[in-house]
Every structure is written in C-alpha cells, then in structure tokens.
Amino acid sequence: MLVAIVAAILMALGGDPADATAFERAAEVVERRVPDRDRRDAAVELLGRMQETVEEMAAPPRPMVRTVVDLLRRHRIAAADLQRALEPLEQRRIRLEERLVAMRMLLRTYLTAEEWAEAFPSPEG
C-alpha cells in the first residue's frame, strides 16, 4: 500500500516520460520540413531542451523522494507534515512547467503555423 501511495504522489508531481518522445518526433518533422537553416537549427535545439526538461520532471531528486517515503513509513503522520515534505517537489514541478511553457512560446516564434501543425498534430487527426 505504501508503494502505491508514493507512486501516486510522485506521478502527480512529475512529468510524463512519454511526452519526451513527442519532442523527438517533432524534431524529426522540423528537420524535414523547415527550409530555413537558422530557424530549423534553433527549433531542433530548443526541442532537445524541452525533451530534457520533461525527462527531468519525470525523475525527481532522490533526497526529495526519500524525505516523503520516510515520512510515509511512519504509522501516524500529520497532514501538515506531509504537505511540508511535498512542498519542495511541488515547487520544483512548477518551475519546470514554467520553463517548458516559456520554451514552447519561444518555439512558436521559430515555426510557421503549418510547420507547427505538422510537428504537433492535433489528437483528433
């Protein structure tokens, strides 16, 4: 039961590693589709940094995780103690998400609407 609780908490605070493959696919499209070398190189470099950020989100630092795990192993814990232990993980997640959004906004300046649509196709098809 403890493992399930820790896994659920960490999944909620981390990124989805599957998102990283979306950036790899987008970089492949950009390499093929963007004719301007400067825009293409800038976009591919930025997509690599975005991929690294998603991977970083998916792997919270061990000391932060250890703090939460140690706390959850106790028979009785106060909600405030758990909240205090989770706060650094939450702040880290927020910083990484903000970084990802800023990079996404910058990426939009490198790609045309058509290039963007091909690199990031809509889920509807």
Q: Which residue has the tokens 């492949």?
A: 28
The closest alpha carbon to 96, from 64, 53, 125, 63, belongs to: 53
Per residue in 11-41, pLDDT (tens digit) is: 554 455 556 688 999 999 999 999 999 999 9
- The residues spanned by each domain of the chain are 2-118
Q: What is the largest CA-CA distance in the chain?
A: 61
3-class SS at 35?
Answer: coil
Neighbouring CB atoms inside 10 A of 29's CB total 19
Interval 59-66 mean pLDDT: 82
Contact criterion met (CB below 8 Å) for 121 and 45: no
pLDDT value for 100: 93
pLDDT value for 13: 46
Does residue 62 register a pLDDT over 90? Answer: no
Q: What are the structure tokens assigned to 48, written together?
A: 């690599």
Q: What are the structure tokens assigned to 94, written together?
A: 């927020």
> What pTM was estimated for this model as a whole?
0.75
Per residue in 65-120, pLDDT (tens digit) is: 788 888 888 878 888 888 888 888 889 989 999 999 999 999 999 999 999 999 99
